[in-house]
Amino acid sequence: IRFILLQNRQGKTRLAKYYIPLEDSEKHKLEFEVHRLVVNRDPKFTNFVEFRTHKVIYRRYAGLFFSLCVDITDNELVYLESIHLFVEILDHFFSNVCELDLVFNFQKVYLILDEFILAGELQETSKKAIIERMGELERQE
Partner 1 sequence: MGTRLRDMIRSIRACKTAADERAVVAKECATLRNAFKDNDQDFRHRNVAKLMFIHMLGYPTHFGQMECIKLIAAGSFPEKRIGYLGLMLLLDERQEVLMLVTNSLKNDLNHSNQFIVGLALCALGNICTAEMARDLAPEVEKLLHNNNSYIRKKAALCSLRIVRKVPELIDYVMVPATALLTDKHHGVLISGVKLCTELCEGSEVALQHFRKHVISLIRVLKNLVVSGYAPEYDVNGITDPFLQIRLLRLLSLLGKGDSETSDNMSDILAQVATNTEGSKNAGNAILYECVKTIMSIEAIGGLRVLAINILGRFLANRDNNIRYVALNTLVKVVSIDTQAVQRHRSTIVECVKDSDISIRRRALELICALVNVSNVKPLTKELMDYLKVSDPEFKGDLTAKISSLVQKFSPNKQWYIDQMILLMVEAGKYVTPDVTRALVVVISNASELQGYTVRALYRVFQAWDGQESLGQVTVWCIGEYGEMLIDNLNEVEGEEPLTVTESDAVDVVETVLKDIRVSPDTVAFSLTALLKLSSRFSHCADRLKGLILEYKGSVVLELQQRAIEFGSILSKHTNIKTALLERMPVLDEATYYSAKQVEVGVDANQTAKSGPHSNGHAKQPNGVAKHLAPETALIDLLSFLPDEQPSAPHQSSDDALLGSLGANVVTSSVPPLSGGADMLLELLSLGTPAAPPLASQESPLPASSQSSLRSSLLDADPFAVPKGSVVSHVMSDQTHNGPASNADPFANLAPLSKPTAAKNPAFPLLVAMQTSGLKITFEFTKQANSPQTTIIKATHTNLSSSPYSDYLFQAAVPKFMQLQLEPASSNILPANGGAVITQVIKATNNMHGQKAMVMKLRVSFKADGQNNLEQAQVNNFPVGL
Neighbours of 67 (CB within 10 A): 25
Decide if 79 contacts 70 (C-beta within 8 A): yes
Distance CA 8, CA 15 (A): 10
Site for partner 1 in 36-55 (CB under 8 A): 42, 44-48
The DSSP result for 58-123, as a single string, is: EEEETTEEEEEEE-TTS-HHHHHHHHHHHHHHHHHHHTS--HHHHHHTHHHHHHHHHHHEETTEE-
* Contact stretch for partner 1 (CB under 8 A) within 13-21, 60-68, 91-99: 13-21
CA distance 20 to 69: 11
Question: Contacting partner 1 (CB under 8 A), which of 37, 39, 111, 134?
Answer: 111
What's phi and psi for 60, nearest 5 deg? -105, 125
Quick one: which of 24, 52, 53, 95 contacts partner 1 (CB under 8 A)?
24
Q: Given candidates 9, 98, 128, 135, which one binds partner 1 under the rule CB under 8 A?
A: 128
Among 37, 39, 85, 131, binds partner 1 (CB under 8 A): 85
Question: Does residue 94 belong to the site contacting partner 1 (CB under 8 A)?
Answer: no
Contact region with partner 1 (CB under 8 A), list: 60-68, 90-98, 108-116: 108-116
Site residues (vs partner 1, CB under 8 A):
13-16, 18-19, 21-22, 24, 28, 42, 44-48, 75-78, 80-82, 84-85, 103-104, 106-107, 110-111, 114, 118-129, 133, 136-137, 140-141
